[in-house]
Chain A
């Protein structure tokens, strides 16, 4: 079922809101589309990475002499090939980056800090020679004790990853180093006072495991550095300008020397916003003076690319008997992996965002552990903290005997609500979403034996950022659109639709591409649910620039003042009869005269997009539990979310459904499993269990449309919010199906069965599995 619920009467659109075929579609269904590993350069070498077998070890020495002597080996790089970077936080598109850590993530220096940490890279004439060479590299390790989980890592006696790490955000500053990189705190009002007024207080502790984005396409790139130092990189990434910035910094090259082309990208979800292979490939190419291709194996993707944090979360919520929440408090301990930078800050800021609260306090800790450095994953940080808060809200609704939707409606944030992270919300669609859930056939449907139904809300900020779009009017009146935010799931379709709507031309007349870093101005990456919002805004500006210029050319040709011409239904016309009789001209006519009236016509927009608006979602999940095995099956699922306005509803629905599926995996089966030796035991899709087609039901969607007043077409970001509610919604469904509440993810069969048995044993007492 796909539905749409509109706040305002539908504006009349010709293209927006329809469901045309995507412009990049044909190549993707015929196998012609070129993804990261599909690109080939003449004479290219194969690059491979030697990785640490230890979770934590001092690297005493690296001897590459035997490998270098192997016929077919053309270049080897180690820590010695990358100059060290000082500890300094610099804005590099994606939040703040400390290049001291980036250079160490790409190639270990003093220590290997996680199993899979790169220690050397080889370029050779063939895969088999490269593999052979890796075996010949001798690394002398001094193995050190490791620590894997945030709570352990915070203990005073825990093994130290960085002996100079002094916790930031604590006054007075600690004198001793620890694994706690940062303490953050967000507070509104006075929680102590709030809790005093509460009739009911619920306090719970939750634990979640790291989960991987699970994109099906492994990281891959080809790099080629010519003798004059100019470099080409072909790579699968969410942000090729970010790849350029990082590579230039790590290699000490001018940005202008590096041209990065984004291939088609086979999924990212935040995981392709950082560099792993690219600087290595460039360094190997420079040394070997040949093109170097590097592709990660699936095992490398799991061992060495960033999942999102596992965490320990404590939540306390107080409410009146009537359901009004009077105070909320939480402590978040997020593991960052080997280097600081977990998403604990957005986790703190979003934890209570769906609610209108007077008194809130959230404290977060960014904790390093001997795991791969985390990378962004869809609404980074929010799914973990909101899972915990929503689970307590669900328990509150049971305790107070108030319907979970009613309880949320009583406390829901709306326009003007002071968000728990400070500022007031503009127009938002949470209440509309909750009401749509209440009215949905799913919410009213009867349940079968061993089935339970859960509901949860979710929030994400969404962002804008630096964006450039170029729209060229071709000689025949067709248009070429160049955008710079990689298209992960239908962006090119949405951009063309917005341009066609503005220009009154057929969609088929516009051919979009994702331009390389030398052909277009700077673009921040595809992330933060910004691409349709920001590149859309720039596309509209570029289209309007073309219209403006078209009017100028017509006025010149007709020899009438510019204000005597007007643009209507895709044509330039005389504004009125007094402007004289002139044949209206469409873009085709304008294109013909462009050269003779001043030259080519190009609409260009280079902006920092502002006005991004948050998107709230509400998910309903039905789970059926096999009481004898503890296995949960999701039997029905509905996603309700505010899109602002859906440009191409099919791809909005796709984001809702895909986020829900990832969340269901997170809730039920996905987890990193490490042995006591600090080695990952499930680095593959066999035992890292993402949902398969037969695990899921159809996922119904209801698109709520409360337009964002700051976007020409009312667009909000929508990509990230869908992964926020599922864990709590599924947990609530499991609770209602079994009578047992679980406080740990994933709710895998052994845990659920044990919970059910323990509950029976202690006469229905709550399990704390």
Chain B
């Protein structure tokens, strides 16, 4: 097994594209190393992208923020502005594993690991994050909700790397939140995850909203019907009831060791309501 640690993203993409065998990107390694140890993956090439400056920075861009795909959860939490403006994204990223995992795990890895239960993905979807993708044939952009197609299956071609996420600017009185359900208080994979982002006008009416759901289908979902339930309302009881129903209606979960279909559908509604209320509270104060 070869190990390479290039310092430009183009070089990384070339290495990945040129490898005839299985080639893997090493970001935090918190999923890759586990899969290698249990021999689920036996890559011929591992490309460590942590030496690529562009992928390790957080910088302002067009009123929003561009977050390098290899920035760790711990670094996101320590960033002065992120937690204020995109608290949901930061709390989601900080739910990925333990404190130890936080020191390594990245949102790029969380997305590209291709798990429908990835915590940061519904939160990124909720805030309308757009991923910058670099490959052997140059750069392109993809909405986060369009990247994962099915478990372990991404809309990336050979050699393509998610370089960064743009968290676009939002109007004042906007905020977001993320909640997940797990059997314990920590250390579990989400049984259901929900991200909600919303904006209010001066009168407190919801002018824009996005709802992302995780672990309830083969891929993380952007639930338009759930957003519509909120937009144009004061996020009152009636709206929340609609939101719950819409969230549940969007679920196409499976029975597995982490939860039943019935349980996931139930809890998706519960979390959507609870997450929306947190986002609402934050937007009012924003």
**A interface, CB within 8 angstroms of B:** 131, 299, 628-631, 633, 668-669, 673, 681-682, 685-687, 689, 691-692, 694-695, 748-750, 753-754, 757
Contacts and interface: CB of A to CB of B under 8 A. Distances in A.
Nearest to A673: B257
A669 B184 contact: yes
A752 B179 CA distance: 20
Interface centre among B185, B191, B259 (most CB of A within 10 A): B185
Given A299-B38, A754-B262, A629 B184 contact: no
Interface of B: 38-39, 181, 183-189, 191, 257-260, 262-263, 266-267, 270
A694 B185 contact: yes
A754 B260 CA distance: 10
Nearest to B264: A750
B262 A681 contact: no
A753 B259 CA distance: 11
A750 B261 CA distance: 10
Given A629-B270, A682-B257, A748 B183 contact: yes
B263 A749 contact: yes
Interface centre among A681, A685, A753 (most CB of B within 10 A): A753
B256 to A, nearest CB: 8
Nearest to A135: B39
A682 B189 CA distance: 12
B262 to A, nearest CB: 7
A433 B259 CA distance: 39
A681 B266 CA distance: 24
B247 to A, nearest CB: 13
A686 B184 contact: no
B260 A750 contact: yes
A754 B266 CA distance: 10
5 contacts: A629-B181, A686-B188, A691-B184, A753-B263, A754-B262
Nearest to B39: A131
Contacts of B260: 750, 754
Nearest to B188: A689
A516 B260 CA distance: 51
Interface centre among A685, A691, A692 (most CB of B within 10 A): A692
B186 A692 contact: yes
B263 A754 contact: yes
A691 B185 CA distance: 9
B188 A681 contact: no
Contact of B185 (A695, A749, A754): A695
A695 B185 CA distance: 6
B267 to A, nearest CB: 6
B257 A692 contact: no
Contacts of A299: 38
Contacts of B189: 686-687
A692 B186 CA distance: 7
A588 B185 CA distance: 56
A575 B281 CA distance: 84
B257 A631 contact: no
B183 A669 contact: yes
A673 B258 CA distance: 10
A694 B188 CA distance: 12
B246 to A, nearest CB: 17
Given A687-B189, A692-B185, 13 more contacts: A299-B38, A629-B266, A669-B184, A673-B257, A689-B183, A689-B187, A689-B188, A694-B185, A694-B186, A695-B185, A750-B262, A753-B266, A757-B266
A630 B262 CA distance: 13
Contacts of A695: 184-186
Interface centre among B38, B258, B260 (most CB of A within 10 A): B258
A757 B262 CA distance: 11
Contacts of B181: 629, 631, 749
Contacts of A686: 187-189
B184 A692 contact: yes
Contact of B270 (A628, A669, A687, A694): A628
A631 B183 CA distance: 7
Contacts of A633: 185
A-B pairs, top 9 by smallest CB distance, nearest first, are: A750-B263, A694-B185, A628-B270, A673-B257, A681-B257, A750-B260, A669-B183, A694-B186, A695-B185
Contacts of A668: 183
Contacts of B258: 687
Nearest to B98: A692
A633 B263 CA distance: 18
Nearest to A669: B183
Contacts of A754: 260, 262-263
Nearest to B183: A669
A629 B187 contact: no
A682 B258 CA distance: 10
A300 to B, nearest CB: 11
Contacts of A669: 183-184
A689 B259 CA distance: 13
Contacts of A692: 184-187
Given A299-B38, A628-B270, A686-B189, A750 B184 contact: no
Nearest to B259: A750
Contact of B183 (A673, A749, A757): A749
Contacts of B266: 628-629, 753, 757
A742 to B, nearest CB: 15
B148 to A, nearest CB: 21
Nearest to B274: A628
Contacts of B184: 669, 689, 691-692, 694-695
A724 to B, nearest CB: 23
Contacts of A749: 181, 183, 191, 259, 263
Contacts of A628: 266-267, 270
B49 to A, nearest CB: 25
A682 B256 CA distance: 11
A343 B24 CA distance: 48
A689 B181 CA distance: 14
A605 B110 CA distance: 60
B30 to A, nearest CB: 11
A630 B187 CA distance: 19
Nearest to A633: B185
A648 B266 CA distance: 49
Contact of B267 (A131, A629, A689): A629
A753 B267 CA distance: 10
A216 to B, nearest CB: 14
B216 to A, nearest CB: 14
Contacts of B183: 631, 668-669, 689, 748-749
